[in-house]
Amino acid sequence: MSKSKPKSVDVYAGIGPALGKTPNDPPVQSFLRSIGHWPLPELEEDEFDLNIEDEARGFSLAFEDGANLPPSIEAKPAGTLVLCGCFFYAEGADDYQQYGGPLPQGITWSDTPASLVAKLGPPKNEMRNKKTGELDAHRWALGEQRLLTASYNGDELENLYIGIY
């Protein structure tokens, strides 16, 4: 019997209002409920971040301790988790199923580095493998406190990250 893939969810629609906020903030709770990840699990002792990995639906949420955020982000008290970003995965990337909901900025899984630059304009940063010089990723600023990073495996889009840094 084959295992059926869980119904896809529109994570991108809910992530925007929740980024940079804590699990106590209503937009974060509402978002997490809508995707079936509320309540959050308790942090392990001596842990300072939390990743909610939904491999079957192709995304991962990154929460970090508010005291460890960069200076450009409003600090939160130590021990307070902040939703910093979300990864969206292509089929098979890091053992994830492909994310089936809408992607940021009209991106599709068939986009290549060249098509993304044509679609989004010149990137803010370009990351290359230090040994081979091969292109690993592009990063674009989306407003003042949002970044979009596209990571590649050759000419194939491997994952997208949208976050506050």
Name the strands in the sheet holding 49-54, side by side, starting at the edge strand that comes first in the sequence.
Answer: 49-54, 59-65, 81-89, 156-163, 147-153, 135-141, 125-128
Please check whether residue 4 lies inside any domain of the structure.
no
Q: Residue range 27-37: average pLDDT?
A: 96
Q: Is 2 a member of any domain?
A: no
pLDDT in tens, 33-50: 999 999 999 888 888 899
The arithmetic mean of pLDDT across residues 117-135, rounded, is: 97
Q: Let me know if residue 6 belongs to a domain.
A: no
Q: Is residue 16 part of a domain?
A: yes
What is the extent of the structural domain holding 103?
11-163
Average pLDDT of the residues in 94-103: 96
Q: Report which DSSP code applies to 127.
A: E
The total number of structural domains in the chain stands at 1
Note the pLDDT of residue 62: 97
The answer to the question of residue 1 being in a domain is no
Task: Collect contacts of 46-50 with beta carbons under 8 A, ≥24 apart.
Answer: 49/81, 50/81
Residue 160 near residue 87 (C-beta atoms within 8 A) = yes
Residue 5 covered by a domain: no
Residue 116 reports pLDDT greater than 50: yes
Residues 52-75: what's their mean pLDDT? 92
% residues pLDDT > 70 (the chain): 96
